[in-house]
Amino acid sequence: MFKIFDFSLKMNGFPLEEAKRKLAQILAVPEQDYAAFLEHKKRELVEFHLASNPFYQSLVGKNSFDRWEDLPIMRKIDYQRPLDQRLSEGYSQKTAYINKTSGSSGDPMVFAKDKAYHALIWANIIRRFGWYGVDFNHSLQARFYGMPLDFIPNLTLRFKDILSRRYRFSIFDFSDAGIEIILKKFATKKFDYINGYTSSIVLVAKYLKKKNLILKEICPTLKVCIVTSEMLFEDDKMLLETHLGIPVVNEYGASEVDMIAFQNTEDEWIVNAESSIIEIVDENGKILPHGQQGRILVTCLYNFAHPFIRYEVGDYGILDEKSTAKKPILKKLIGRTNDVAILPSGKKPAGMTFYSITKRLFGDDGNVKEFVIKQTKLDTFEIDYTSEKPLSEAEISEMEKVFADFLEPGLTYIYHRKTVLERSKSGKLKQFVSELKQDS
Protein backbone atom coordinates (compact mmCIF):
# COMPACT_ATOMS: atom_id res chain seq x y z
CA MET A 1 0.00 0.00 0.00
CA PHE A 2 1.23 3.50 -0.84
CA LYS A 3 2.91 5.20 2.15
CA ILE A 4 1.58 8.74 1.74
CA PHE A 5 3.08 10.15 4.96
CA ASP A 6 6.58 8.83 4.24
CA PHE A 7 6.29 10.09 0.66
CA SER A 8 5.28 13.61 1.78
CA LEU A 9 8.35 13.86 4.06
CA LYS A 10 10.68 12.71 1.29
CA MET A 11 9.13 15.15 -1.19
CA ASN A 12 9.94 17.97 1.23
CA GLY A 13 13.59 16.96 1.38
CA PHE A 14 13.59 15.00 4.65
CA PRO A 15 15.63 11.76 4.26
CA LEU A 16 13.32 9.49 6.25
CA GLU A 17 14.82 6.14 5.25
CA GLU A 18 18.32 7.31 6.22
CA ALA A 19 16.88 8.59 9.50
CA LYS A 20 15.26 5.23 10.24
CA ARG A 21 18.58 3.46 9.65
CA LYS A 22 20.36 5.98 11.90
CA LEU A 23 17.75 5.52 14.62
CA ALA A 24 18.18 1.74 14.43
CA GLN A 25 21.94 2.17 14.89
CA ILE A 26 21.39 4.42 17.93
CA LEU A 27 18.94 1.95 19.47
CA ALA A 28 21.44 -0.88 18.92
CA VAL A 29 24.06 0.74 21.19
CA PRO A 30 24.19 -1.44 24.34
CA GLU A 31 23.08 0.01 27.66
CA GLN A 32 26.57 -0.35 29.16
CA ASP A 33 28.05 1.72 26.31
CA TYR A 34 25.32 4.35 26.06
CA ALA A 35 26.71 6.93 28.49
CA ALA A 36 30.03 6.98 26.62
CA PHE A 37 28.14 7.13 23.31
CA LEU A 38 26.24 10.23 24.50
CA GLU A 39 29.43 11.90 25.76
CA HIS A 40 30.97 11.43 22.31
CA LYS A 41 27.89 12.91 20.61
CA LYS A 42 27.83 15.89 22.98
CA ARG A 43 31.48 16.71 22.29
CA GLU A 44 31.03 16.23 18.54
CA LEU A 45 28.05 18.61 18.52
CA VAL A 46 29.69 21.35 20.60
CA GLU A 47 32.97 21.23 18.72
CA PHE A 48 31.06 21.57 15.45
CA HIS A 49 29.17 24.67 16.61
CA LEU A 50 32.26 26.24 18.17
CA ALA A 51 34.01 25.88 14.80
CA SER A 52 31.07 26.67 12.49
CA ASN A 53 28.58 28.86 14.31
CA PRO A 54 29.61 32.45 15.21
CA PHE A 55 26.39 32.90 17.21
CA TYR A 56 27.27 30.00 19.52
CA GLN A 57 30.94 31.04 19.65
CA SER A 58 29.85 34.44 20.96
CA LEU A 59 27.75 32.86 23.71
CA VAL A 60 30.55 30.53 24.85
CA GLY A 61 33.19 33.24 24.48
CA LYS A 62 35.89 30.93 23.15
CA ASN A 63 36.46 28.28 20.50
CA SER A 64 37.02 25.33 22.80
CA PHE A 65 35.59 23.87 26.00
CA ASP A 66 36.73 21.56 28.77
CA ARG A 67 33.69 20.75 30.85
CA TRP A 68 30.10 20.30 29.68
CA GLU A 69 28.80 21.92 32.87
CA ASP A 70 30.68 25.14 32.05
CA LEU A 71 28.83 25.65 28.77
CA PRO A 72 26.22 28.43 28.94
CA ILE A 73 22.56 27.64 29.47
CA MET A 74 20.76 28.92 26.39
CA ARG A 75 17.50 30.80 26.84
CA LYS A 76 14.85 32.14 24.52
CA ILE A 77 16.25 35.65 24.91
CA ASP A 78 19.51 34.46 23.30
CA TYR A 79 17.59 33.79 20.08
CA GLN A 80 16.15 37.29 19.77
CA ARG A 81 18.18 38.13 16.68
CA PRO A 82 17.69 37.42 12.95
CA LEU A 83 17.79 33.74 12.06
CA ASP A 84 20.52 34.24 9.45
CA GLN A 85 22.84 35.35 12.27
CA ARG A 86 22.20 32.10 14.13
CA LEU A 87 22.66 29.54 11.36
CA SER A 88 25.83 27.46 11.12
CA GLU A 89 28.17 27.89 8.19
CA GLY A 90 27.04 25.83 5.23
CA TYR A 91 23.34 26.17 6.09
CA SER A 92 20.77 28.66 4.84
CA GLN A 93 17.06 29.19 5.19
CA LYS A 94 16.66 27.38 1.86
CA THR A 95 18.57 24.28 2.91
CA ALA A 96 17.31 23.96 6.53
CA TYR A 97 13.88 23.29 7.99
CA ILE A 98 12.49 26.62 9.30
CA ASN A 99 9.59 27.01 11.72
CA LYS A 100 8.53 29.11 14.68
CA THR A 101 7.06 28.49 18.11
CA SER A 102 3.41 29.24 18.77
CA GLY A 103 4.21 32.14 21.10
CA SER A 104 1.75 30.87 23.71
CA SER A 105 4.30 31.49 26.49
CA GLY A 106 5.79 34.68 25.08
CA ASP A 107 6.98 36.04 21.76
CA PRO A 108 7.18 33.46 18.97
CA MET A 109 10.71 32.35 18.13
CA VAL A 110 11.90 31.43 14.65
CA PHE A 111 14.25 28.45 14.63
CA ALA A 112 15.97 26.05 12.24
CA LYS A 113 16.74 22.33 12.14
CA ASP A 114 18.86 20.57 9.60
CA LYS A 115 16.72 18.30 7.47
CA ALA A 116 18.45 15.08 8.48
CA TYR A 117 17.73 15.87 12.13
CA HIS A 118 14.09 16.74 11.40
CA ALA A 119 13.75 13.38 9.64
CA LEU A 120 15.31 11.65 12.67
CA ILE A 121 12.74 13.31 14.94
CA TRP A 122 9.94 11.97 12.76
CA ALA A 123 11.48 8.50 12.64
CA ASN A 124 11.45 8.45 16.43
CA ILE A 125 7.90 9.80 16.68
CA ILE A 126 6.75 7.12 14.24
CA ARG A 127 8.46 4.45 16.37
CA ARG A 128 6.96 5.65 19.64
CA PHE A 129 3.43 6.12 18.30
CA GLY A 130 3.82 2.59 16.94
CA TRP A 131 3.87 1.30 20.53
CA TYR A 132 0.09 1.86 20.42
CA GLY A 133 -0.60 0.49 16.95
CA VAL A 134 -0.53 3.88 15.22
CA ASP A 135 0.80 3.86 11.65
CA PHE A 136 1.23 7.37 10.22
CA ASN A 137 0.77 6.11 6.68
CA HIS A 138 -2.55 4.40 7.28
CA SER A 139 -4.03 5.33 10.68
CA LEU A 140 -6.59 8.16 10.61
CA GLN A 141 -6.03 10.85 13.24
CA ALA A 142 -8.71 12.96 14.91
CA ARG A 143 -6.70 16.15 15.45
CA PHE A 144 -7.46 18.78 18.12
CA TYR A 145 -4.95 21.54 17.36
CA GLY A 146 -5.24 25.16 16.31
CA MET A 147 -5.56 26.35 12.74
CA PRO A 148 -5.02 29.64 10.89
CA LEU A 149 -8.19 31.49 9.98
CA ASP A 150 -6.81 33.16 6.83
CA PHE A 151 -7.92 31.37 3.67
CA ILE A 152 -4.59 30.44 2.03
CA PRO A 153 -2.77 29.29 5.22
CA ASN A 154 -5.88 27.36 6.21
CA LEU A 155 -6.09 25.68 2.80
CA THR A 156 -2.38 24.81 2.95
CA LEU A 157 -2.78 23.24 6.38
CA ARG A 158 -5.84 21.26 5.27
CA PHE A 159 -3.82 19.83 2.34
CA LYS A 160 -0.99 18.93 4.73
CA ASP A 161 -3.55 17.18 6.94
CA ILE A 162 -4.70 15.09 3.99
CA LEU A 163 -1.13 13.96 3.31
CA SER A 164 -0.69 13.18 7.00
CA ARG A 165 -3.95 11.20 7.39
CA ARG A 166 -5.45 13.76 9.77
CA TYR A 167 -8.91 15.27 10.19
CA ARG A 168 -8.65 18.58 12.04
CA PHE A 169 -11.46 19.72 14.32
CA SER A 170 -12.08 23.35 15.21
CA ILE A 171 -11.03 23.93 18.81
CA PHE A 172 -12.71 27.31 19.12
CA ASP A 173 -16.29 26.10 19.66
CA PHE A 174 -16.93 23.69 22.51
CA SER A 175 -20.54 24.65 23.09
CA ASP A 176 -22.92 21.71 23.33
CA ALA A 177 -23.87 22.28 19.69
CA GLY A 178 -20.20 22.43 18.67
CA ILE A 179 -19.39 19.16 20.46
CA GLU A 180 -22.43 17.46 18.89
CA ILE A 181 -20.94 18.29 15.47
CA ILE A 182 -17.65 16.71 16.60
CA LEU A 183 -19.43 13.55 17.78
CA LYS A 184 -21.33 13.21 14.51
CA LYS A 185 -17.98 13.19 12.69
CA PHE A 186 -16.72 10.44 15.01
CA ALA A 187 -19.85 8.45 14.16
CA THR A 188 -19.17 8.64 10.42
CA LYS A 189 -15.36 8.38 10.14
CA LYS A 190 -13.14 5.44 11.15
CA PHE A 191 -10.66 7.29 13.35
CA ASP A 192 -7.79 5.21 14.73
CA TYR A 193 -6.50 7.69 17.32
CA ILE A 194 -6.93 11.15 18.81
CA ASN A 195 -4.07 13.64 19.10
CA GLY A 196 -4.14 17.20 20.36
CA TYR A 197 -4.33 19.76 23.14
CA THR A 198 -5.30 18.35 26.54
CA SER A 199 -7.84 21.05 27.43
CA SER A 200 -9.78 20.63 24.18
CA ILE A 201 -10.10 16.87 24.48
CA VAL A 202 -11.07 17.17 28.16
CA LEU A 203 -14.01 19.40 27.16
CA VAL A 204 -15.25 16.68 24.81
CA ALA A 205 -14.90 14.10 27.61
CA LYS A 206 -16.85 16.31 30.04
CA TYR A 207 -19.71 16.50 27.54
CA LEU A 208 -19.61 12.73 27.06
CA LYS A 209 -19.80 12.33 30.84
CA LYS A 210 -22.80 14.66 31.02
CA LYS A 211 -24.58 12.65 28.33
CA ASN A 212 -23.42 9.30 29.81
CA LEU A 213 -21.64 8.39 26.54
CA ILE A 214 -18.40 6.59 25.67
CA LEU A 215 -16.64 7.73 22.52
CA LYS A 216 -15.35 4.28 21.55
CA GLU A 217 -18.95 3.08 21.38
CA ILE A 218 -19.62 5.89 18.90
CA CYS A 219 -16.37 5.25 16.98
CA PRO A 220 -15.33 1.58 17.56
CA THR A 221 -12.10 1.90 15.53
CA LEU A 222 -10.46 4.20 18.12
CA LYS A 223 -7.31 2.73 19.74
CA VAL A 224 -5.63 5.50 21.75
CA CYS A 225 -5.66 9.20 22.67
CA ILE A 226 -2.34 11.07 22.76
CA VAL A 227 -2.46 14.45 24.51
CA THR A 228 0.22 17.11 24.26
CA SER A 229 1.18 20.78 24.78
CA GLU A 230 -0.73 21.29 28.05
CA MET A 231 -0.58 19.76 31.52
CA LEU A 232 -2.48 16.49 32.00
CA PHE A 233 -3.73 16.06 35.57
CA GLU A 234 -4.47 12.62 36.96
CA ASP A 235 -8.20 13.27 37.41
CA ASP A 236 -8.44 14.50 33.81
CA LYS A 237 -6.66 11.35 32.64
CA MET A 238 -9.19 9.22 34.51
CA LEU A 239 -12.06 11.22 32.99
CA LEU A 240 -10.60 10.81 29.49
CA GLU A 241 -9.97 7.08 29.80
CA THR A 242 -13.46 6.51 31.21
CA HIS A 243 -15.43 8.47 28.63
CA LEU A 244 -13.22 8.05 25.58
CA GLY A 245 -12.99 4.34 26.38
CA ILE A 246 -9.35 4.08 25.22
CA PRO A 247 -5.87 4.45 26.78
CA VAL A 248 -4.64 8.03 27.23
CA VAL A 249 -0.95 8.68 26.51
CA ASN A 250 0.95 11.76 27.64
CA GLU A 251 3.41 13.34 25.20
CA TYR A 252 5.75 16.17 26.18
CA GLY A 253 7.75 18.15 23.66
CA ALA A 254 8.66 21.59 22.37
CA SER A 255 8.45 22.49 18.70
CA GLU A 256 11.84 24.20 18.65
CA VAL A 257 13.64 21.14 19.97
CA ASP A 258 12.19 17.64 19.87
CA MET A 259 9.85 15.16 21.46
CA ILE A 260 11.07 15.31 25.06
CA ALA A 261 9.16 12.44 26.67
CA PHE A 262 6.46 9.95 25.70
CA GLN A 263 4.53 7.57 27.92
CA ASN A 264 5.10 3.87 27.18
CA THR A 265 2.69 0.96 27.62
CA GLU A 266 4.01 0.42 31.19
CA ASP A 267 2.90 3.98 32.11
CA GLU A 268 6.49 5.23 32.27
CA TRP A 269 7.23 8.67 30.80
CA ILE A 270 10.25 7.71 28.69
CA VAL A 271 12.58 10.62 27.89
CA ASN A 272 13.91 10.81 24.35
CA ALA A 273 17.53 9.73 24.76
CA GLU A 274 17.82 8.82 21.08
CA SER A 275 18.26 12.31 19.62
CA SER A 276 18.53 14.57 22.65
CA ILE A 277 19.83 14.90 26.20
CA ILE A 278 17.77 16.12 29.14
CA GLU A 279 19.29 17.72 32.24
CA ILE A 280 17.66 18.91 35.45
CA VAL A 281 19.45 21.89 37.01
CA ASP A 282 18.91 24.12 40.03
CA GLU A 283 18.45 27.89 40.00
CA ASN A 284 22.22 28.35 39.72
CA GLY A 285 22.55 25.98 36.78
CA LYS A 286 24.07 23.11 38.78
CA ILE A 287 23.09 19.63 37.53
CA LEU A 288 20.85 17.92 40.06
CA PRO A 289 20.78 14.20 40.88
CA HIS A 290 17.83 12.08 39.78
CA GLY A 291 14.83 12.53 42.04
CA GLN A 292 15.30 16.26 42.60
CA GLN A 293 13.16 18.98 41.03
CA GLY A 294 14.71 21.60 38.80
CA ARG A 295 14.70 23.41 35.47
CA ILE A 296 14.64 21.27 32.35
CA LEU A 297 17.44 21.73 29.79
CA VAL A 298 17.39 20.06 26.38
CA THR A 299 20.29 19.49 23.99
CA CYS A 300 19.50 18.52 20.39
CA LEU A 301 22.35 16.15 19.59
CA TYR A 302 21.91 16.12 15.82
CA ASN A 303 20.91 19.69 14.99
CA PHE A 304 23.98 21.05 13.23
CA ALA A 305 22.10 23.83 11.42
CA HIS A 306 21.19 25.74 14.58
CA PRO A 307 22.39 25.20 18.15
CA PHE A 308 20.07 24.13 20.96
CA ILE A 309 22.68 23.16 23.54
CA ARG A 310 21.68 23.11 27.21
CA TYR A 311 18.56 25.00 26.15
CA GLU A 312 16.08 25.93 28.89
CA VAL A 313 12.63 25.00 27.61
CA GLY A 314 10.86 26.83 30.44
CA ASP A 315 9.58 23.92 32.55
CA TYR A 316 10.35 22.33 35.89
CA GLY A 317 10.63 18.56 36.14
CA ILE A 318 12.05 15.56 37.99
CA LEU A 319 13.93 12.60 36.52
CA ASP A 320 13.16 9.25 38.13
CA GLU A 321 15.82 7.74 40.40
CA LYS A 322 15.83 4.55 38.30
CA SER A 323 16.73 6.47 35.12
CA THR A 324 19.70 5.26 33.07
CA ALA A 325 21.63 6.88 30.23
CA LYS A 326 19.68 4.88 27.65
CA LYS A 327 16.33 4.92 29.45
CA PRO A 328 15.81 8.17 31.37
CA ILE A 329 12.33 8.45 32.87
CA LEU A 330 10.51 11.71 33.55
CA LYS A 331 9.03 11.17 37.00
CA LYS A 332 7.08 14.41 37.06
CA LEU A 333 6.49 17.54 34.99
CA ILE A 334 5.74 20.45 37.31
CA GLY A 335 4.96 23.24 34.84
CA ARG A 336 6.30 26.48 33.46
CA THR A 337 9.20 28.22 35.20
CA ASN A 338 7.81 31.65 34.27
CA ASP A 339 4.28 30.95 35.58
CA VAL A 340 4.96 32.14 39.12
CA ALA A 341 2.75 34.26 41.36
CA ILE A 342 4.15 36.82 43.83
CA LEU A 343 2.23 37.22 47.10
CA PRO A 344 2.30 40.25 49.46
CA SER A 345 4.35 38.22 51.97
CA GLY A 346 7.02 37.60 49.33
CA LYS A 347 6.06 33.95 48.77
CA LYS A 348 6.30 32.81 45.13
CA PRO A 349 4.01 29.82 44.50
CA ALA A 350 3.96 28.26 41.05
CA GLY A 351 0.88 29.28 39.09
CA MET A 352 -0.08 25.63 38.71
CA THR A 353 -0.60 25.56 42.51
CA PHE A 354 -3.67 27.77 42.06
CA TYR A 355 -4.84 25.68 39.16
CA SER A 356 -4.48 22.39 41.06
CA ILE A 357 -6.33 23.70 44.12
CA THR A 358 -9.13 25.27 42.09
CA LYS A 359 -9.50 22.15 39.96
CA ARG A 360 -10.16 20.03 43.03
CA LEU A 361 -12.49 22.60 44.59
CA PHE A 362 -14.75 22.95 41.59
CA GLY A 363 -15.86 19.38 42.20
CA ASP A 364 -17.09 16.64 39.91
CA ASP A 365 -20.59 17.85 39.13
CA GLY A 366 -19.56 18.99 35.65
CA ASN A 367 -20.77 22.56 36.22
CA VAL A 368 -17.45 24.33 35.60
CA LYS A 369 -15.96 23.39 32.23
CA GLU A 370 -12.76 25.48 32.09
CA PHE A 371 -11.05 28.23 34.01
CA VAL A 372 -8.06 30.56 33.79
CA ILE A 373 -6.47 32.32 36.77
CA LYS A 374 -4.89 35.74 36.27
CA GLN A 375 -2.86 37.74 38.80
CA THR A 376 -3.61 41.41 38.18
CA LYS A 377 -2.22 42.95 41.40
CA LEU A 378 0.05 41.77 44.20
CA ASP A 379 -2.98 40.77 46.27
CA THR A 380 -5.59 40.24 43.53
CA PHE A 381 -6.43 37.26 41.35
CA GLU A 382 -9.15 37.15 38.71
CA ILE A 383 -10.69 33.80 37.79
CA ASP A 384 -12.38 33.50 34.40
CA TYR A 385 -14.53 30.41 34.06
CA THR A 386 -17.18 28.83 31.85
CA SER A 387 -20.03 26.93 33.46
CA GLU A 388 -23.64 25.87 33.13
CA LYS A 389 -24.59 27.94 36.17
CA PRO A 390 -22.71 30.61 38.16
CA LEU A 391 -20.56 29.58 41.11
CA SER A 392 -22.57 29.68 44.32
CA GLU A 393 -21.61 31.81 47.32
CA ALA A 394 -20.89 28.59 49.23
CA GLU A 395 -18.52 27.36 46.50
CA ILE A 396 -16.70 30.70 46.40
CA SER A 397 -16.44 30.84 50.19
CA GLU A 398 -14.98 27.32 50.33
CA MET A 399 -12.49 28.13 47.56
CA GLU A 400 -11.24 31.25 49.31
CA LYS A 401 -10.88 29.41 52.62
CA VAL A 402 -8.67 26.75 50.98
CA PHE A 403 -6.66 29.39 49.10
CA ALA A 404 -6.02 31.17 52.42
CA ASP A 405 -4.81 27.90 54.00
CA PHE A 406 -2.54 26.93 51.09
CA LEU A 407 -1.27 30.40 50.18
CA GLU A 408 -1.96 33.18 52.67
CA PRO A 409 -4.99 35.09 53.99
CA GLY A 410 -6.06 38.54 52.86
CA LEU A 411 -5.98 37.95 49.09
CA THR A 412 -8.76 39.22 46.82
CA TYR A 413 -10.44 36.98 44.24
CA ILE A 414 -12.66 38.31 41.45
CA TYR A 415 -14.78 35.90 39.40
CA HIS A 416 -15.86 36.35 35.79
CA ARG A 417 -18.26 33.86 34.24
CA LYS A 418 -17.56 33.73 30.50
CA THR A 419 -19.24 32.17 27.48
CA VAL A 420 -15.84 31.09 26.14
CA LEU A 421 -12.28 31.53 27.40
CA GLU A 422 -9.65 33.37 25.42
CA ARG A 423 -7.10 31.07 23.84
CA SER A 424 -3.80 31.84 22.13
CA LYS A 425 -3.70 32.05 18.34
CA SER A 426 -2.47 28.45 18.28
CA GLY A 427 -5.49 27.36 20.30
CA LYS A 428 -3.66 26.58 23.56
CA LEU A 429 -5.26 27.49 26.86
CA LYS A 430 -2.80 29.24 29.19
CA GLN A 431 -4.21 28.36 32.58
CA PHE A 432 -2.29 30.82 34.76
CA VAL A 433 -1.18 34.31 33.75
CA SER A 434 0.64 36.90 35.84
CA GLU A 435 0.36 40.52 34.77
CA LEU A 436 2.93 41.64 37.34
CA LYS A 437 6.41 42.64 36.25
CA GLN A 438 8.88 40.08 37.57
CA ASP A 439 12.64 40.02 37.73
CA SER A 440 14.07 37.70 35.08
For residue range 130-142, list pLDDT tens digits in order: 999 999 999 999 9
What does the mean pLDDT of the chain come to? 89
User: Could you tell me which residues are beta bridge partners of residue 143?
Assistant: 168, 195
CATH number (3.30.300.30, 3.40.50.800, 3.40.720.10, 3.40.50.10800) of 351-434 reads 3.30.300.30
pLDDT at residue 108, rounded to an integer:
67
Which backbone phi and psi does 417 adopt, to 5 degrees? -85, 125
Lowest mean pLDDT among 70-79, 310-319, 427-436: 427-436
For residue range 368-396, list pLDDT tens digits in order: 888 888 899 999 999 998 888 898 898 88
Q: Return d(Cα 101, Cα 108) in angstroms, integer.
A: 5
Better pLDDT: 27 or 200: 27
Lowest mean pLDDT among 30-44, 308-322, 401-415: 401-415
Output the CA–CA distances (angstroms, integers) from residue 11 to 6, 7, 163, in the order listed. Answer: 9, 6, 11
pTM score: 0.83
Residue 432, classified by CB atoms within 10 Å of its CB into exposed (0-12), middle (13-18) or buried (19+), is buried
pLDDT at residue 440, rounded to an integer:
39
For residue range 277-300, list pLDDT tens digits in order: 999 999 999 999 999 999 999 999
pLDDT at residue 102, rounded to an integer:
61
Contact 147, 170 (CB under 8 A): yes
The answer on pLDDT for 248 being more than 70 is yes
- Highest-confidence segment of 96-110, 148-162, 257-271, 417-431: 257-271
pLDDT at residue 152, rounded to an integer:
80
For residue range 48-74, list pLDDT tens digits in order: 999 999 999 999 998 889 999 999 999
pLDDT at residue 401, rounded to an integer:
87
CATH fold for the domain made of 4-336: Rossmann fold (3.40.50)
Determine the Cα angle at 121 with ends 116 and 126, to 5°: 120
**Range(s) for CATH 3.40.50.12780 in the chain?**
4-336
**Range(s) for CATH 3.30.300.30 in the chain?**
351-434
